[in-house]
Chains A and B, each alone.
Chain A
Amino acid sequence: MNRPNALLSVDDLHAWYGESHALHGVSLDILPGETVTLVGRNGVGKTTTLRAIIGIIRKRTGAIQFDGKDLMRLPLHRTAHAGIGFVPEERGIFASLTVEENLMLPPVVAPGGMSLKEIFDLFPNLHERRNSQGTRLSGGEQQMLAMARMLRTGVKLLLLDEPTEGLAPVIVQRIGEVLAELKTRGMTILLVEQNFRFASRIADRFFLMEHGRVTAAFPAGELESRMDLLHQVLGV
């Protein structure tokens, strides 16, 4: 069962893409300030879980409680205002906007977000390229931008979908540094990651997914003892 002081509590979440039943009762919870990771093979429903939480997928049943609010009852454009930020797998940088416009696009939903200056300090290359067209950035820079624009908004929970996918090790390291920095500032993070090593460096807790449901949950401390299970399921 989910912990009572959880910031996000997902209980028996089912979701459908049209007729296709993609999530078969996902349950997980995240404490404030925790970083948790969803791991699992391709296609088990990790991205679907994120999209169902943020509400992009509307055909869903179950319970999603965030910061005392029932997310199931919110229309899509109100979910961010509850305090959740979403960084999609495809990054979602807008080609018809400049870097700065991309950065400024998501509205501020709560106080406590980083100022533009702080963001540019953390991501100096974004400052340099701020007037370029958003999609002219490299993959790594776009990923930085996708994360950076969420930091301005004051969200408490960040949903990150495969942030390191397809990126060079140097960038991956940089992303890890940024996430670590966010952690120290108290951000709660739900991370979906295929790159197991990367995830294991920052995650406090792991949720293993198979066939549309969470089959195992354990803290980072138990990682070693669970390696056999993970080898078996993930083939890492």
Chain B
Amino acid sequence: MTMIFGIPIQAFLGQLLVGLINGSFYAMLSLGLAIIFGLLRVINFAHGAQYMLGAFAGYLLLTWFGIGYWPSLILVPLIVGVIGLVIEKFALSRLYSVDPLYGLLFTFGLALVLEGVFRYYFGVSGNPYPTPSLLAGGTNLGFMFLPIYRGWVVVASLIVCIGVWIAIEKTKLGAYLRAATENPRLVQAFGVNVPLLLTLTYGIGSGLAGLAGILAAPVYQVSPLMGSDLIIVVFAVVVVGGMGSILGAIVTGYILGLAEGLTKVFYPEASSVVIFVIMAAVLLVRPAGLFGREGA
């Protein structure tokens, strides 16, 4: 058995893969947070709950309607996205004229409600979601065993992140988004319906969280608590990366996931806090974040 740094290479790469998978979710979620924050100037505390909502939507689509994984990949982001649209239109939009901390507090309340509702009906234990048969099982790559679904998660998250990045940087709608992030009044004065853009952005951000949720369902258990533990870590990711750049949010998510995985190999007790430690270190050395521009 080959060893690396005194550890069997299988175990090492196995943990690294777990780290990469966690990183995939960190990347997708901090991407959504960064998009919402960039335009709306609101920290969406409910992002974790929307991720949980996505996982549960997939679970319920399956158990109530027999709708499987592949259609759910489309339906779930739509469902969560539409819920997000409604929330923004009728509630969140009223908070743009006041201190942004109220937006944080509102979405915090929303997160409590969403988690509370699912906790009430489903308890705190997790529900299993079956891996789609197409992606079941694994392959032996020689130096490690790769469960196929895990590999799919990494690939899918990369596709989603890169796809979103391209949409923002290279399309017309993305240009509206970027311009409105810089100077929303002027963009409105040009005749662009910025309030609608804000609503859509929150919807898309929520939908992204929901998509992450359905992707996560076969990997982690579908539990009402899955969002809240995750969101705090994602906040730390976002502080490390800075929210100035979409690419920065994505890259930081993957890097921190890997860091977490590495820590699990060598110093397991610290793995749940290593991201916070890195956050503290970054705050000392580069307070604006690795990719940030001053602008909170």
Q: Footprint of B on A, CB under 8 Å?
A: 54-56, 76-81, 85-86, 88, 92, 94-97, 101, 104-107, 109, 153
Contacts and interface: CB of A to CB of B under 8 A. Distances in A.
A79 B189 CA distance: 7
A215 to B, nearest CB: 28
A88 B186 contact: yes
Given A55-B189, A80-B189, A86-B186, 4 more contacts: A56-B189, A76-B185, A77-B193, A95-B182
B190 A96 contact: no
Contacts of B194: 77
B276 interface: no
Interface in B186-205: 186-195
B253 to A, nearest CB: 21
B178 A96 contact: yes
Nearest to A82: B191
A56 B175 contact: no
The SS class assigned to the B binding surface is helix
Interface string B64-86: 00000000000000000000000
Contacts of A153: 190-191
B190 A97 contact: no
A137 to B, nearest CB: 16
A94 B191 contact: no
B143 to A, nearest CB: 42
Interface residues of B, number: 19
A109 B191 contact: yes
Contacts, number: 59
Contact of B179 (A54, A79, A96, A109): A96
A80 B190 contact: yes
Given A94-B178, A96-B178, A97-B179, A54 B189 contact: yes
Nearest to A101: B175
Interface in B162-220: 172, 175-176, 178-179, 181-183, 185-195
A92 B183 contact: yes
Contacts of B192: 77, 105-107
Contacts of B175: 97, 101, 104-105
A143 to B, nearest CB: 15
A104 B189 contact: no
A105 B187 contact: yes
A56 B172 contact: no
B179 A76 contact: no
Nearest to B193: A77
Contacts of B185: 56, 76
28 contacts: A56-B186, A56-B189, A76-B188, A77-B192, A77-B195, A79-B189, A79-B191, A80-B189, A80-B190, A86-B186, A86-B189, A88-B186, A92-B183, A94-B179, A94-B182, A94-B183, A95-B182, A96-B181, A97-B175, A104-B172, A104-B175, A105-B176, A105-B187, A106-B190, A107-B190, A107-B191, A109-B191, A153-B190
A80 B178 contact: no
Contacts of B191: 77-81, 106-107, 109, 153
B262 to A, nearest CB: 34
A103 to B, nearest CB: 11
A105 B178 CA distance: 11
